Structure 1
């Protein structure tokens, strides 16, 4: 936050030596308030981690406005308690949902070029689908295509179709989907209340299940698991899909798998898979009969090995139950 204030003060014309160097005295916030009190400014704060870090960066001047983007909801901004400090009495929250396929293709067209999209509409639709409706990945994909005029759209679609290469393909210059997700994950690590959520994210990434319940692979009691999953939801690293049920966006699932490969030992991964399988509920795709005698197999995204559900209490019996639709396709 203090680094951000220093950058803003220098952007307002303050000489570097005049920027207060204090860490605890509040000199930078006070200097920023005095410089901006009578100014007409629009401040854009992108990818804000939380409301605590945002408040000192938004000033009380009547002609000052701020546009803030964040994965977190930031619903505490604008509270009366902080009104006299931050001028956030007229906060308007706008929740941006994912792009529909048509809009994602339009975004791709504007960046990569309409002629290229018109020549390869199927590849453009595939790229939009593999970006999962997120504007950020779609924009990065468009930027990469714009920088590679010799590529066909199908070339990028082929790269994105390989789940092990997708996050690598969604980066160009200083734009990277992986880095954007990592900001939220790192913020959880840095906050004492977020340690459980940061730890459980890679564990969830190990499981090839469309949704997750409170029986998280960490093996924690329900209340602790719920708190961790809710924090992941607040950070937009999980989506709620019903009561006590959550799912990953496919790109975040890939990030979580990478973290599991880099952070967890083989013993930890095996234990998490066992716990996750015991606590999971299987959602069958439409192609599976409702009374199939097949037992589910869980593939480890780390080793690539597939293991039958021999540890499951249903092993040896037909797995029955109604089919469900609307499942998230796994990468």
Structure 2
């Protein structure tokens, strides 16, 4: 990966995403991989066992032997599906719709397995999502116990979403694993867009498969998935850790009786709480003209990124 820090200059409210889904009335799936019985997490989301969606053998149901204190829920993280050969899930979907795919990984200790030996690839309908992936190394680098990867998948020609796990051929005695899978149907958000810095070049985002990278609630606190709009269970994070230097500006909060009117956009574009906070440079125009607010993000320079900015006056 070629890591590079890019700076973003803005004045009011931003949320940086590779995608931001909205919601339609399709069937959603939440699979607790390796689980034997249905379960409900603390946010009242219902999870079902994954076995009936698994179309290939050579897998093991496993239970983590250690529960990290940072886990927000034991579901779906304390059970796992272990793969010792290429394996595929087949999930029924509407092929003409875009879908949000969320993969949950908890690289804990599973009996008889060394999680450090786990290297694998994941593909969705032949689109590679992860390659030579180690959840253990990734979590260690991010100093966190578990990992969630989100993708927005373009419409396909068939009514089945195939999610395939393939072992890496670069290591001996390796294996793949997954703790949870979520699939949510959503309407198409994107069309063509002009590439920044290339006014004569267009990007067809409507046909693209996208991975979410950053989703920030500017001027406000974290918004958990249970408080997201449209049932998409997206998490919005406080933006302060991404602000460059000590110039945090001034945060603003809308009054308690402030209401959002989603007249020209779906309610699920973003929860109302995103629009009830903002960050500004401050009230002194003479100082503002000599300064800025800058957010920085670590990104891989080998990819193109979609950026969405959210603005609301209050």
* TM-score, scaled to structure 1: 0.25
| Bigger strand fraction | 2
Q: 1 or 2, which has the higher helix percentage?
A: 1
TM normalised by structure 2 equals 0.26
Flag the structure with more relative contact order, 1 or 2, with Cα contacts below 8 A and sequence separation at least 6.
Answer: 2
Larger radius of gyration: 1
